[in-house]
Amino acid sequence: MDLKKRLIFFTRSIRMLVFLFVLSQYLFVRNRYQAAQVIPVLAALGVFYVLLDRIVFKVPEKRFKPVAMGLMLLEILLVSLFIYFTRSSPILDLDFLFALPIANIAIWFGLKEGMAYGVISCVAYTFTLFVSGRLAWTGNEGEFVSRYFFFLLIPFLMGYLSDFTERESEEKARRTVELTALSGFATVFDSTLVESKVHANLSTAISRSINPDVILVFRFDEEGENLVVAASSGVSDTESSLSIPADYGMAGSVLKAKEPLLVGDTDAEQDYRQLLESQRIRSAIYAPMKWREEAYGVVFAGKQMRGSFSENDLNLLSALSVQAALAIHNSRLYSDLEDRIGELHAIFEIDKAITSAIDLETVLQQIVQMSIGLLDAKISSIMLLDEESNELVIAAAHGLSESYIRKGPIKVGESIAGRVIQEGRPIAVEDIIDDPRHAYSDQARIEGLHSLLSVPLSLKDRVIGVLNIYTDETHSFTPHEINLFTSLASQAAIAIENARLFESLEEIYIEVITALASAIDARDSYTHGHSHRVTEYAVAIAEDIQLNPAEVDIIRNASILHDVGKIGIKEDILKKPGRLTEDERKEMEYHPFIGTKILQSVKLLEPVLPLVYHHHEWVDGTGYPDGLKGEDIPLGARIIAVADAFESMTSDRPYRKALPLDEAFGELRRCSGRQFDSEIVQVFMKLAEAGKLDLEWSQSRVITLTDRFGRA
């Protein structure tokens, strides 16, 4: 409207020129008129021309049209009066003053209003001539027709130009608004990578841009068979959770054609289906959320009045839907990327965990636990191949009952797992209960198993087992999931093989160590069988004080290996018949350290090391190598100290003969609380008195040291 007000500056200039022209004519012929009539009208017309723009500019926007139309009627009246009062000697072309209000109205308000004022001016002009007595058609027809034609041509041209300018201005403003809206909403869409937020932002964008009564943003469900409402506006709570088939009504047609659709009158469309009960929609727009050739859903906007939407609304909604589809596409790509990164991180952590473990049982348990976490399943198992029997046996499982685990081995080629071994490739089964290849359908039904993915544990040249993952609901395993678990199985196979190799190496290493211990005992006849007898005494004490089996096994192994460090002591010191010198004694006291260094390379023997290292500590703190005292000395080391001392006292040595049992018992009592743990000594004495210890040495008591292992 401000632009139209500014046009007054142009029309005011024309008015002033015309007024000066009229005034100059009047001055030349003023003696022909009654001044009392003409001068007031002429003055009013001049004042009107001067004040017109000032009045219009001060009128509020909402009152501009009625005020402007009233002013133009006033101008027509003043011109009519001026023509009437100058009827005796008409001023040349004075009647063309009617064109000014007509032009203003046409410019300000358009063709329709301009033509109306053109007609009013024609009527006013005709009436003025009639009352003035000048209406004589004979000989003046051309003049009258030219005036009427001019009065109607002016509003037609000016009105058409005004309407065209108005439309261009409105279109430009609309385009500006649309582009601003699209730019703003594009920023909003790009700022989120969460699909649900994209739907909500799309609903908000539609509401702000085309202001419909109802908005429904549909997305596909997980199966892709139905459309469900992801975001909405103007509907009830029940309608906001609406679900329809993907091919239903016009929404289905739009999805199929992947083109937007404008419905001006829903009652005239056979394919239209009223989706809402809360209100009746009479006009609607549908637009697919499409990016390239992929459709992610459909948008519905409706109003209760017919013909409420334009092509511009359709184009805007379509553009917003495309932006939303692109945002959804990006959000899914981002989600997939996050999933891949998470999976890669999980695979890395799994690889790090299972390859860092060296105990086979631990490795197997870690694999089944991590495979469950990777797919968010509930049940997993590992079956290893026994190459001698050519059978698969469950070696580790999570979520399976004991009865299912003990169902028996599977031959290669039998059931699903057997086929995986035979074919060397993964097999995915959506329903193992109804699959004829599965050998244990009844047990699977009892366990509540539905879908199965079985992948081979493959090394370069052979398959060593299978990794199974089960779901308790029907699940269709995707190629990505199959590839993911195949990668996990490859890592698992390497970890299992490494654990097996490590166990074999440890067994070999232990055999070497125990052979060394036997070699120490065999270096002379005095110490032959010493470690075995110490082991018998120590184990008896440990069992009597009710240590658990694992702790007993640690003490057993530590007792066998407690003197392995003597392999590094000079033989002349070990066999010296007399008292050792200070330097020789210090060298002899170094053997716990040597033994610990020899054994620390074997991870299985880690619990043994403190007992081997500290079995010569005294409870009063005067022992070696660290001078520990009391309960700071490991319990196993205190037990071995008593057993070692008693066996040494009751055996022949190069520097003395074996003590009688009574003297050996007396020495234990005397050193109890100073060198030995008094409670351990009491337990040992009790066992000896009860005849539970074989205190007489014989060759038959010498056993193979390796036989003592395998129980840890």
Q: Is the pLDDT of residue 478 over 70?
A: yes
Whether residue 643 sits in one domain with residue 568: yes
Nearest Cα to 693, choosing from 645, 648, 643, 637? 643
Lowest-confidence pick of 171-175, 184-188, 505-509: 184-188
Whether 242 and 381 share a structural domain: no
Within-domain flag for 183 = no
Same domain, 471 and 590: no
Tokens 């197997």 correspond to what residue?
364
Last residue of a domain, one of 170, 201, 230: 170
Question: What CATH number did the domain enclosing 535 receive?
Answer: 1.10.3210.10
Q: How many domains does the chain have?
A: 4
Q: Is position 349 within any domain?
A: no
* Per-residue model confidence (pLDDT) at position 1: 46
Query: Residue 343: is its pLDDT beyond 70?
Result: no
Domain boundary among the residues 446, 462, 497 is at 497
Are 291 and 364 contained in the same domain?
Answer: no
- Across the chain, mean pLDDT equals 80
The pLDDT value recorded for residue 187 is 62
Q: How many residues are listed for the chain in this entry? A: 712
AA identity, residue 505: L
Q: How far is CA 248 from CA 114, 227, 271, 359, in A?
A: 51, 9, 9, 60
- Asked if residue 675 is part of any domain, the answer here is yes
Rg (CA), the chain: 53
Give, in degrees to the nearest 5, the angle at Cα 552 between 551 and 555: 90
pLDDT level of residue 708 (50, 70, 90 thresholds): very low
Distance CA 535, CA 549 (A): 15
List the end-to-end C-alpha distance of the chain, in Å, as a whole number.
97
Are 306 and 394 found together in one domain? no
Structure tokens at 549: 């089996």
203-to-19, 227, 238, 304, 627 alpha-carbon distances in Å: 59, 16, 18, 18, 79
Q: Are residues 287 and 431 in the same domain?
A: no
The pLDDT tens digits of the residues spanning 263-311 come to 988 888 877 878 887 888 899 999 998 888 888 899 999 999 988 888 8
Q: Let me know if residue 347 belongs to a domain.
A: no
Per residue in 197-221, pLDDT (tens digit) is 888 888 888 887 788 999 999 999 8
CA distance 270 to 263: 11
Task: Find which of 28-32, 185-189, 567-571, 652-656 is predicted with most confidence, using mean pLDDT.
Answer: 567-571
Q: What is the pLDDT of residue 683?
A: 93
Is the per-residue pLDDT at 480 higher than 60?
yes
Domain that holds residue 392: 357-497
* Token reading at 373: 């976490």
Token pair belonging to 537? 């005494």
- pLDDT one-digit tens code per residue, 54-97: 777 787 878 888 888 898 898 889 888 888 888 777 776 677 78
Inside any domain, residue 352:
no
CA–centroid distance for 620 within its chain: 63
Query: Which stretch of DSSP H or E encloses residue 539?
Result: helix 530-544
Q: Single out the residue of 492, 411, 483, 481 nearest to residue 458, CA to CA.
A: 492
User: Residue 520: pLDDT above 70?
Assistant: no
Indicate if 8 and 113 belong to the same structural domain: yes
Q: Are residues 159 and 199 in the same domain?
A: no
| C-alpha span between 359 and 397 (Å, rounded) | 16
Residues 452 and 491 in one domain: yes
Residue 702: inside a domain: yes
Rounded to whole angstroms, the Cα distance separating 698 from 692 reads: 16
In a domain, 24, yes or no: yes
Q: How many CB atoms lie within 10 A of CB 500?
A: 14
Is the per-residue pLDDT at 533 higher than 80? Answer: yes
Q: Are residues 583 and 623 in the same domain?
A: yes
Which helix (H) or strand (E) covers residue 629, if one does? none
Average pLDDT for 339-357: 63
The answer to whether residues 437 and 320 belong to one domain is no
Q: State the pLDDT at residue 525.
A: 47
30, part of any domain: yes
Strand order in the sheet with 283-291: 243-245, 226-233, 214-220, 294-303, 283-291, 261-263
Average pLDDT value for residue range 375-392 = 82
207 and 291, same domain (yes or no): yes
The confidence score (pLDDT) of residue 696 equals 66
Whether 468 has a pLDDT exceeding 70, the answer reads: yes
- The pLDDT assigned to 588 comes to 85
Side chain identity, residue 183: S
Contacts of residue 525, defined as CB under 8 A and 6 or more positions apart, other chains included, come to none
Q: What is the CATH number of the domain that holds 253?
A: 3.30.450.40
